[in-house]
Structure 1
Amino acid sequence: MLGRVLAWLGIGDDGGDASDADLDWTDPDAAYGGDGPPRRYTCSECSTTIEGVGPDEQVTCPECGTAFKGTLVPDCAICPDCGSRIDDFAFYPATRRDTESASCSCGYRWESDPRTR
């Protein structure tokens, strides 16, 4: 750990050791933070497809006007890179509202920023 601090300060070599890799949370191929990928819902009142972005505290159906306050769970996420359906996504278990992670078969990957929790 001391070697890592000294390397950060620019003192000594910056080779580090294998255990330093465990301290790195970032993945250069993943997008972090923000609202995450768009989510797609199906209105339980009129079966209209609804797309939303951001925390799912309230989703309003554009057809029938029904407002779902934290009760409507997304059917899927939508990849912002290729536009396809993402089924591999997870929510924070305590709320089941805010997206925690999502990954698409095209290689797109998103995770909530672990520094903001």
Structure 2
Amino acid sequence: MLGRVLGWLGLGDGDTAADADAADADLDWADPDIEYGGDGPRRRYTCAECDTTIEGFGPDRQVTCPDCGTVFKGVLVPDHAVCPDCESRIDDAEFYPETRRDTEFADCGACGYRWESDPR
């Protein structure tokens, strides 16, 4: 471990860049098939006042009903998400975890699209 730290600082025993890249590859944990960060797929809501379907992004964004004008900000829980790849309904989603420190995700069963807000 000390050798890797010294190598990173440029004080090592002459490890080549290829050796460092190979060692760093062991630390890669992100899945290339998963989209990370951002607001994720569109959320589809039902207006609590007039039952109109509303689409929006992100938990802290304001959602305004186009029919009755009711404004919701972070209080309207989405019915489901819409897959950005195949436009299918995503029911396997978690947009409002118990704490904001938890990972939000959406997983499309139709095409395999997956999104995570905070890869851990």
Give TM-score scaled by structure 2 length.
0.72
5, 14, 17: which one aligns with 1:10? 17
The alpha-carbon distance between structure 1 residues 32 and 9, as it changes in their structure 2 partners (threshold 3 A), is: farther
What percentage of residue pairs aligned between the two structures are identical?
A: 69
Paired position in structure 1 for 2:115: 110
Paired position in structure 2 for 1:49: 53
Paired position in structure 1 for 2:33: 29
89, 92, 105: which one aligns with 2:93? 89
Flag structure 2 segments of 5+ consecutive residues without an equivalent: 9-14
The alpha-carbon distance between structure 1 residues 50 and 10, as it changes in their structure 2 partners (threshold 3 A), is: same
Number of residue pairs the alignment of both structures matches:
108
The alpha-carbon distance between structure 1 residues 43 and 12, as it changes in their structure 2 partners (threshold 3 A), is: closer
Flag structure 1 segments of 5+ consecutive residues without an equivalent: none
Coordinate RMSD, CA, aligned: 3.0
Give TM-score scaled by structure 1 length.
0.74
Q: Which moved more, 1:68-77 or 1:3-12?
A: 3-12
The structure with more radius of gyration? 2
Paired position in structure 1 for 2:81: 77
**Paired residues of 1:36 and 1:99 also in contact (CA < 8 A):** no
Paired position in structure 1 for 2:12: none
